[in-house]
Amino acid sequence: MRWIGTSFKMTKTIAESAAYAARLREAVGPEAPAGVRPFVIPPATAIDTVARTLGAGSPVLVGAQNAHWADGGPWTGEISMPQAADAGAALVELGHSERRTHFAETDATVRRKVRAALRHGLIPLVCVGEDAPTFAAGGSADHVVAQALAALGGSADTGTVLLAYEPVWAIGDAGRPATPAEIAAPVAALRDAVGDRVAGVLYGGSVAPENAADLLGVPGVDGLFVGRAAWRVEGFLRLLDIAAGR
């Protein structure tokens, strides 16, 4: 299975998210291309709208960009896994580097959130990735394996978890795309360490139509997790086509 997903991060109004979802529904139809599993992760304000616009039974999964480990209570500013699911999320992104860097997300909090997501039937999409100094020092594989092991813990029920390998130095406007050669070893290390315990290993960081096929060709890569290149729906549709071999 090739998972192709995008996070809108902190972009798009409800109306913009709805327009994106409507176009996606129209273009994808009732069945995704064979072997391709699309997902979209709008801002929390638009999860409900995107899920309703895509409609029940859509082949496009909807996700949340984050959710708390507690089921409810005095956690101002947070949403819980049950609330994310109630809004229409089937998947929850956890531990993105922007959350680790700016919002004090740690391996320990990611682990608690993975537990909570699984408890509520959400697919955890756990982001792992090394920073530039770790990459330069040759520590990428060890770093991401440690993050993945911490997120999964010793639990036996992690078979729905998706991992996204996102080198921090490859993400966003300040990043540069990783090459297939650069991601091969960290991806192989993740597969060796936890491949039989998760549903897939995705790559993310400056993915674009120009590099998508090559990145998908790296052994062990089960999909792509995309930011900017998929924020216009045409970009996302192009990536779905590439994943489908069209």
Which residues would be at the binding site for ligand 13P (CB under 6 A)? Answer: 7, 96, 166, 171-172, 175, 204-207, 225-229
Residue closer to ligand 13P, measured from CB, 51 or 239: 239
Residue closer to ligand 13P, measured from CB, 96 or 120: 96
Is 166 marked active-site? yes
Nearest approach, Cβ of residue 190 and ligand 13P (Å): 17
- Identify the active-site residue in 93, 98, 130, 166: 166
Beta bridge pairs of residue 226:
6
Phi, psi torsion values for 92, nearest 5 degrees: -140, 125
Assign 186 to helix, strand or coil.
Answer: helix
3-state secondary structure string across 68-115 = ECCCCCCCCCCCEHHHHHHHCCCEEEECCHHHHHHCCCCHHHHHHHHH
**Is residue 214 within 8 Å of 180, Cβ to Cβ?**
yes
Phi, psi torsion values for 115, nearest 5 degrees: -60, -45
Is 16 marked active-site? no
- Identify the active-site residue in 68, 96, 120, 143: 96
Nearest approach, Cβ of residue 230 and ligand 13P (Å): 8
Q: Nearest residue by C-beta to ligand 13P?
A: 227
Nearest approach, Cβ of residue 17 and ligand 13P (Å): 16
Residue closer to ligand 13P, measured from CB, 11 or 45: 11
Residues 6+ apart with CB under 8 A from 118: 124, 155, 157, 158, 160, 161
Residue closer to ligand 13P, measured from CB, 49 or 97: 97
For the annotated catalytic residues, the residue numbers are 96, 166
